[in-house]
Amino acid sequence: MKIYKENIAEWDKRYGTLSETFNMSYSFESMVIILWNAKGRDIDLKYIGTGFYYKYRDEPESAFRGSVGDIDPDEIVD
């Protein structure tokens, strides 16, 4: 929650309503992890079935993830 409070204004400025979209498809905690790991990178979204898949813009098309659980633990940055 602290990370969110410290970063939400910056994330909203950079990503617009993206955080609301993530909050609809993912848990609040997952949304924070996704935006935190973006580290300012752009994020691409695809609507597939009943939810949104995402990837960071600098990743290949094959990197679209359906959940925060699809992130390799080695990619998570403190």
| pLDDT tens string 5-23 | 888 888 888 888 777 777 6
Query: What percent of the chain has pLDDT above 70?
Result: 79
Can you tell me the distance from the alpha carbon of 6 to that of 68, in angstroms, rounded to the nearest whole number?
A: 21
Mean pLDDT calculated for residue range 42-60 = 85
Can you tell me the distance from the alpha carbon of 8 to that of 13, in angstroms, rounded to the nearest whole number?
A: 8
One-letter amino acid identity for 1?
Answer: M
